[in-house]
Amino acid sequence: MVRRPITAFVLATSGLVALVALVPDSAPAAPPAAIECDADNAGLTLPEGFCALVFADIEGRGRHLTVRQNGDVFVALRGRSGGVAALRDSDGDGRADVLERFGERGGTGIGIFEGALYTAPDDGVLRYPIAADALTPSGPPEEIVSGLPGPRTQHAAKNITIDESGTMYVNIGGPSNACQTEMRTAGSPGQDPCPQLESRAGIWTFDARTPGQTPADGTRYATGLRNTFALALGANGGLWGVQHGRDGAHDLWEDVYSVEQQAEVPAEEFVSIRKGDDFGWPYCMFDPLVGKKVLNPEYGGDGTQVGRCATARGPALALPGHWAPMGLTFYHGTQFPERFRGGAFVAFHGSWNRGPLPQGGYNVVFVEFGPGGPTGKWEVFADGFAGDDVSPRGAEHRPAGVAVGPDGSLYVSDDTAGRIYRILYSGS
């Protein structure tokens, strides 16, 4: 395959904008002097000046991923193939040529804290001891948290992010669409109050350094979030997420919403998450057609009524409905042009229920940030993952995780065919 060469850049970690959190004190490892991108950009459509390559094709469903300061990439694998894929570029050509696998419990969340590797199966959080120059652990994992709710229910997958103090944030998704008395049944009212909020549909915190914790040791940090797969630390350590909105506004309430409205309602909410926040699920949703949070039909809403939703925390930015946000990372590198620095990349898995409109998502979006948060500007940054058939069953690849490498490259995982992409800036 003919490949297009680009020159990579050595990065410095000083002078980053105030929005960057958890930037290492030491300078990142220098990338190879030249990396050759694929002639077809690995099938992706990118903004001018960017190019891409296939970093690796692995067996398994790659969910979230994290990149160590030496460039090693660790990918959480979901499903029967389970565990972690560890990837290394040992010859400096920008592609992985060493692959190791370990662990048996598949999951979604993954991260590095104080030199250890943390992974999140559906029911807990594990910590693997791993040396700085090793790809595989030096021993079995410790169970940091066990017994989390979710296995064998809707929205069971867990995501994690850890701040500098050792506070670990865990998304625990709600186990339903809108807490109906009869799940996903047309006309069925919502349970009020919704009992699912007691242990799910929010963000919980735990101590990342302490093994042997159970749900009773956690603290509910925020509530009313249906499912916040995409979760990351951004501005000055602030917590941000993008939640999955509810489905079936027309299918379940055809007298309130048209089939065309169902394709757009509700928005996928990009949210700033503070301690004690309540975002209103299952009682409320953000309707981009009216520009506010409205009462769900399950709780008496007529499509415009606000009611109790007046006190629910709204989004910092409304993104297209049903695109299915899966991964979130903030750009802390300097390889990309300045306008990307401090901004956010969101991996969208793709919709299944936007008909009769075309299905959407299956891409990576860039959200511009200013000192106060999102500026309101966003764009599709990387597209083409799905191929010709943009649908859940027909897509060749579906983005799941995003992470920034030490040289400023952006890595994207795919949980359909196990591809790991690497996106770089060539400047030409």
- CA geometry: angle 194, 196, 201, nearest 5 deg: 110
pTM of the model: 0.92
Instruction: For the chain, give every domain's residue range.
Output: 3-425
Euclidean distance between CA atoms 8 and 424, whole angstroms: 8
Q: Which CATH number fits domain 3-425: 3.90.1150.10, 2.120.10.30, 1.20.1260.10, 2.40.30.10?
A: 2.120.10.30
Phi, psi of 261 (to 5 degrees): -65, -35
Which 8-state DSSP code applies to residue 339? Answer: G
Going from the first residue of the chain to its last (428 residues), give the mean pLDDT of each consecutive group of 10, the final group possibly shorter.
Answer: 32 27 34 78 97 96 96 92 92 96 94 98 97 95 96 92 97 98 97 98 98 98 98 89 97 97 97 98 97 98 97 98 98 95 97 94 97 94 98 97 97 97 89
Please answer whether residues 33 and 8 qualify as being in contact, where contact means their C-beta atoms are separated by less than 8 angstroms: yes
Q: Give the pLDDT of residue 151.
A: 86
Euclidean distance between CA atoms 174 and 149, whole angstroms: 10
Q: Give the pLDDT of residue 428.
A: 60
Compute and round to an integer the Cα radius of gyration of the chain: 21
Please answer whether residues 49 and 32 qualify as being in contact, where contact means their C-beta atoms are separated by less than 8 angstroms: no
User: Which of 59, 62, 45, 51 lies closest to 401 in space, CA to CA?
Assistant: 62
Q: What are the E-state strand segments in 133-201?
A: 142-145, 159-162, 167-172
